[in-house]
Amino acid sequence: MRRVLIFGCWAAFFMLATASFFKGQEIVDRIVARVENDIILESDIRELKEYQELVDGKSESESAILDRLIDQWIVRSEAQLSRFPEPKDEEIERGVSRVVESFASSGEYEARKQRSGLNDAEVRKIVAAQLYLSNYLDSRFRPSAQIDEKAIEDFYQNAVVPRAKARGQEPPTLDASRDIIQEALVQNDINEQADRWLKESRARLHMQKFLEEGAK
């Protein structure tokens, strides 16, 4: 889903990784962007880069990560202005568990986490930040997501059935797949609405970037 991509991937956005922190006194931080009256630091980029390396085994370029952080700033600012509630501890724990369970084993997760440079507290903080942003986007755009029956049937015929056959499996019935398909289409609609909103919002921002051209 694109939502996952955006928050690192929104991932989205959706799929995100927002608070600045120092990993040691030897690290010298610097400003890489100004957004309105706020700043984005090099440590913010480093943090999201390490999280991407943890969950994906690789990371985007620093310039792409900076763009994600700017999108996150927009979402977070709107959410805080509306006093949107922070995710509860149990929701955060479920989010962390989903990250761990995405690996073949807990040992593989621990090894990748060590290579990324993140610790448990940092992973939890990033998951909490991503949940806050994605929950806000869901709350803002889900009510206007409209999915009709034809869209569900088309998705079933063009995606569900071919995928099952490619795996040598009997496709599930349309009725058995309906709820899952509808939610997937709703999520896609939310992503598209959020993308349009972010594009419009970025055009109104007073923003300066100080990241070197071609940063990796």
Instruction: Write down the architecture of domain 2-144 according to CATH.
Output: Orthogonal Bundle (1.10)
Output the CA–CA distances (angstroms, integers) from residue 141 to 43, 67, 82, 197, in the order listed: 31, 21, 14, 10
- pLDDT for the residue 213: 54
- pLDDT for the residue 28: 72
- pLDDT for the residue 143: 96
> pTM for the whole thing?
0.81
Q: Helix crossing, 42-56 with 106-116: angle to 10°?
A: 150
pLDDT in tens, 200-211: 999 999 999 998
Phi, psi of 38 (to 5 degrees): -110, 170
Q: Helix crossing, 62-81 with 42-56: angle to 10°?
A: 100
Domain spans, the chain: 2-144
pLDDT beneath 70, residues of the chain: 1-27, 213-216
- pLDDT for the residue 212: 73
pLDDT in tens, 160-169: 999 999 999 9
- pLDDT for the residue 216: 53
C-alpha span between 54 and 60 (Å, rounded): 12
Output the CA–CA distances (angstroms, integers) from residue 108 to 112, 119, 148, in the order listed: 6, 15, 42
The structure tokens listed for 31 are: 């400003």
* CA atoms lying within 13 Å on the CB side of residue 204: 6
- pLDDT for the residue 211: 85
